[in-house]
Amino acid sequence: MKFLRIALLLFACSLKANTSSILPTSTHLGSSNWYQSSWLGVYFESSNPWTYQTNLGWLYIPSANPENFWMYNPNLKWLWTTSSIYPWVYVNEIKDWRYYLPLPGFYRAETKKWSSTSELVAEFSQNASAAYTSAYYSSGAITSNYNISSWFDRSLEINGLQLFVAGAVGGQIAIPDEWAKKIAQTVKLLTDPNDAEIDIPSQERMIQVLQGTSGTWHAGYPAAQRLAYGGGSDYSPNPLTDNGIESYSGYRNLNNYLMNDMVWYRNSSDGAVNTVGNYDIAEVLEHLMHTIHLYGVPGAVNGSRNALKWDSETQSGWQTSGLYYAMKEAVDNGVFSLRDYMDGNIDSPETYRLISKEYLYLLNFGMWEYGQEFWENGTLAPEWNDNARTPSGVQQNNPLGYALFNNYIKPVLSKPSLTDLRTIFQDNDGGTSGYVSD
């Protein structure tokens, strides 16, 4: 019996000795401290914090969490990945994603080019000198905030836009901080001053408009985006109804902000809970665009306030604005269908007020060639015709919309890459925000 206990102890020690301290599920290769991970590949684990990975070389790995995996390479500096997205790695020095293979090196999806390690390192200094920063751009931390009704318990400001985060209330659980950070990171991608297409002074004015700063058209009333869980009916009472919201103490404080649609976490507005990452992207982009198109873009580029008259209730002359003419052209040419919008009449004030935000977001998607990946069955026809899902298609079938976008939206909104969006939003609530506050 004593011999058996000793044998078991020695066997347990040998198992422990052959278990990787960085990734315990890795397979020991039977030689010294070499291991093979199903996702990280072959690596050597030394007695100090440094690890040698056969592709990336020597790495300092401070954490053994495969879903939040930071690596430090003396040349490449900090890299970030997860077990589900590797060999995609986030290169912190240039705030960009690259696909890594040992022979060709680092692949950038936007340019479809490979870079060697030395070429990538050379980009670091170029990026540092080119990056634009100013006091207008800020990435706030999530903070407790009980001054925006009992429906919300946290807030965050990102580049002028307030995010209100729903708490555990009305029988619903709280929005996770990480979801709020995913939305904040998406806003940051939409307001990137380092995008080559951006007119920085105009974008800075857009941020001021969103903030409701003095001298802007909604001064004193900042724009806000509400983030909540599931759908309105998942709360009791439903805060989207006039009677329901009154049950949430402090609800009148929401009147101090300009708000539009919700962004739903685990969206169940249409019944079943969404689990598809691409549909999350569509949900988030559509409703962020509604907010920014209405309360940020007008007033940013010179002339945009008059051109983008969407509020038929408070703005006179809306039927002679550039937005009206562009939208009417889209309707007349069969690009944009009003069949499912109220009375379907562009000249009805309430209908016009509703369809303005929908048209702007669909136009934006078409000019960015978004949609096929994010919409069920790959189309929104007949609401938005498939012939206007590319810039050339918009130019041919809705030339006034094409000009409207290029004059007033393109200078202030930056296009997020599909790689970035799909890293943030993955199926079954996967992905990670990558958001870093100032």
Give the model's pLDDT for residue 14: 44
Identify residue 225 by its one-letter amino acid code. Answer: Q
Nearest to 104 by CA among 87, 91, 92, 84: 87
- CA–CA gap between residue 342 and residue 350 (Å, rounded): 8
Q: What is the 3-state secondary structure (H, E, C) of the chain?
A: CHHHHHHHHHHHHHHHHCCCCCCCCCEECCCCCEEEECCCEEEEECCCCEEEECCCEEEECCCCCCCCEEEEECCCEEEEECCCCCCEEEECCCCEEEEEECCCEEEECCCCEEECHHHHHHHHHHHHHHCCCCCCCCECCCEECCCCCCCEEEEEEECCEEEEEECCECCECCCCHHHHHHHHHHHHHHCCCCCCCCCHHHHHHHHHHHHCCCCCCCCCCCEEEEEEECCHHHCCCCCCCHHHHCCCCCHHHHHHCECCCEEEECCCCCCCCCCCHHHHHHHHHHHHHHHHHHHCCCCCCCCHHHHCCCCCCCCCCHHHCHHHHHHHHHHHCCCECCCCCCCCCCCCHHHHHHHHHHHHHHHHHHHHCCCCCCCHHHCCCCCECHHHCCHHHHHHHCHHHHHHHHHHHCCCCCCCCHHHHHHHCEHHHECCCCCCCC
Contact (CB, 8 A) for 326 and 404: yes
- CA–CA gap between residue 435 and residue 356 (Å, rounded): 31
- CA–CA gap between residue 252 and residue 261 (Å, rounded): 17
Assigned token pair, 253: 């404080």
Give the model's pLDDT for residue 38: 86
- CA–CA gap between residue 332 and residue 352 (Å, rounded): 15
- CA–CA gap between residue 294 and residue 261 (Å, rounded): 11
Name the pairing type of β-strands 224-229 and 262-265: parallel
Contact (CB, 8 A) for 162 and 257: yes
Q: What does each C-alpha distance from 319 to 293, 312, 371, 403 come to in angstroms? A: 18, 9, 29, 18
- CA–CA gap between residue 161 and residue 280 (Å, rounded): 20
Adjacent-strand bridge partners of 227 = 165, 263
Q: pLDDT in tens for each of the 438 residues of the chain?
A: 544 444 433 333 444 468 888 888 899 998 788 999 888 889 999 877 789 988 888 898 887 788 888 888 888 888 989 888 988 999 988 888 999 987 788 998 878 889 888 888 888 766 655 678 889 999 999 999 999 999 999 999 999 999 999 999 999 999 999 999 999 999 999 999 999 899 999 999 999 999 999 999 999 999 999 999 999 999 999 999 999 999 999 999 999 999 999 999 999 988 899 999 999 999 999 999 999 999 999 999 999 999 999 999 999 999 999 999 999 999 999 999 999 999 999 999 999 999 999 999 999 999 999 978 888 788 999 999 999 999 999 999 999 999 999 999 999 999 999 888 998 999 999 988 989 898
Enumerate residues 6+ apart whose C-beta is below 8 A from 123: 94, 115
Give the model's pLDDT for residue 127: 63
Enumerate residues 6+ apart whose C-beta is below 8 A from 4: none
Contact (CB, 8 A) for 53 and 61: no
